[in-house]
C-alpha cells in the first residue's frame, strides 16, 4: 500500500517539473519520507527523477543549447564532489537556510525591480555551475541555483525545461548506480520503479502539451512561485 501511495505521489508531483522544469523533489522528498523510510524515498525518488529528466531531454532536445548544458555539466562535477566531501564537516542545516534566504532576496529584488538588468554570459555560467555543483553535493540538490542561472540567461521556456533536465541526467544515473551497489535499490522495488518510470514518461509528454498552452510571462511567474515555495521550505 505504501508503494502505491508513493507512485501516486510521484505522478502528481511530476506535473510541476514537467511544466516548469523543476520542483518535483520539493514535494516527493518532503511528503515521501512520511510514506517510506528516508533511504527508500531518496532512492525511488531518484528513479522518478532519472526517468523524467531523460524523457524531457529527448522531448526538448532541439530547444536545448548544448554548449550551455555541457558547460554546466562539466563545471559542476568537481564542485559537486567537493560539496559531498564536506558534508560531514559543514553545518548543512545552516547552509540550507542561508540558501533559502538568498533565493528569497533574489525574488524580492526581482519583484520590486531593485537590481540592475544583466544577462549571464559564459563567465557567469561557469561560476553559477560551480555554485550549483557545490550545493548539490552538499545538500543533495542544487536546482534552485541552476534555475536562477538559466532564468537569467533569458532562454525560451522550452530551452529552460530541456536544460534543467539535460544537466541532471548523468548525476541521476550515477546516483542510481550507487544506490543499487549499496543495496538500497533492490529487485523487491521492481514494480514501484516501473510505476514511477511510466508516470514520469506520461507526465513529461503531458507537460509538453501544457507548456505550449502557457505564455512566456505565465511561465516566468510559475518559475518564481516554485522558487519561492522551495526557498521557504529551506528556511523553515
How far apart (Å, rounded) are the C-alpha atoms in residues 131 and 218? 27
Residue 126, pLDDT score: 93
User: Which DSSP state fits 189?
Assistant: G
> What is the mean pLDDT of the segment spanning 85-112?
79
- Percent of the chain at pLDDT above 90? 26
- Which H or E run includes 95? helix 92-111
> Residue 187: pLDDT above 90?
no
**Cell matching residue 23:** 520542483
Q: Summarize the confidence of residues 151-170 as an average pLDDT.
A: 89
Q: What is the CA radius of gyration of the chain?
A: 17
207 close to 160: Cβ distance less than 8 angstroms: no
Residue 92 confidence class, pLDDT cut points 50, 70, 90? low
- Greatest mean pLDDT range, 32-36, 153-157, 181-185: 153-157
Q: Which helix H or strand E contains 236, and what residues bound it?
A: none
Cβ atoms within 10 Å of 31's Cβ, excluding its own: 15
* Spatial CA neighbour of 231 closest among 80, 114, 132, 105: 105
Indicate the pTM of the whole model.
0.82
Residue 184 CB coordination number (10 Å): 17
How many of the other CB atoms lie within 10 Å of CB of 81?
Answer: 13
Distance of alpha carbon 165 from alpha carbon 155, whole angstroms: 14
Binned at pLDDT 50, 70 and 90, residue 41 comes out as: confident
**Terminal-to-terminal C-alpha distance of the chain:** 30
Per-residue DSSP letters for 101-128?
A: HHHHHHHHHHHTT-S------HHHHHHH
| Angstrom distances, CA of residue 160 to CA of 101, 104, 208 | 24, 20, 12
Residue 103 clears pLDDT 80, i.e. is over it: yes
Mean pLDDT of the 38-60 span: 89
Query: d(Cα 65, Cα 47) in Å, to the nearest integer?
Result: 25
Amino acid at each position: 500500500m505504501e508503494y502505491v501511495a508513493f507512485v501516486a505521489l510521484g505522478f502528481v508531483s511530476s506535473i510541476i517539473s514537467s511544466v516548469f522544469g523543476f520542483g518535483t523533489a520539493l514535494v516527493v522528498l518532503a511528503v515521501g519520507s512520511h510514506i517510506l523510510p528516508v533511504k527508500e524515498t531518496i532512492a525511488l525518488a531518484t528513479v522518478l527523477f532519472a526517468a523524467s529528466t531523460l524523457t524531457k531531454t529527448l522531448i526538448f532536445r532541439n530547444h536545448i543549447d548544448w554548449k550551455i548544458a555541457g558547460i554546466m555539466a562539466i563545471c559542476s562535477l568537481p564542485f559537486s564532489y567537493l560539496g559531498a566531501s564536506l558534508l560531514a564537516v559543514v553545518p548543512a542545516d545552516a547552509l540550507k537556510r542561508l540558501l533559502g534566504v538568498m533565493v528569497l532576496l533574489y525574488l524580492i529584488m526581482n519583484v520590486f525591480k531593485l537590481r540592475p538588468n544583466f544577462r549571464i554570459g559564459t563567465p557567469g555560467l561557469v561560476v553559477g555551475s560551480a555554485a550549483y555543483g557545490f550545493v548539490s553535493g552538499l545538500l543533495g540538490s542544487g536546482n534552485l541555483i541552476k534555475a536562477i542561472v538559466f532564468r537569467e540567461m533569458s532562454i525560451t521556456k522550452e530551452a529552460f525545461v530541456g536544460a534543467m533536465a539535460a544537466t541532471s541526467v548523468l548525476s541521476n544515473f550515477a546516483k542510481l548506480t550507487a544506490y543499487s551497489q549499496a543495496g538500497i535499490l533492490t529487485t523487491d522495488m521492481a514494480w514501484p520503479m516501473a510505476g514511477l518510470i511510466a508516470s514520469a514518461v506520461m507526465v513529461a509528454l503531458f507537460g509538453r502539451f501544457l507548456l505550449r498552452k502557457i505564455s512566456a510571462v505565465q511561465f516566468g511567474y510559475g518559475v518564481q512561485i516554485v522558487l519561492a515555495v522551495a526557498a521557504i521550505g529551506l528556511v523553515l
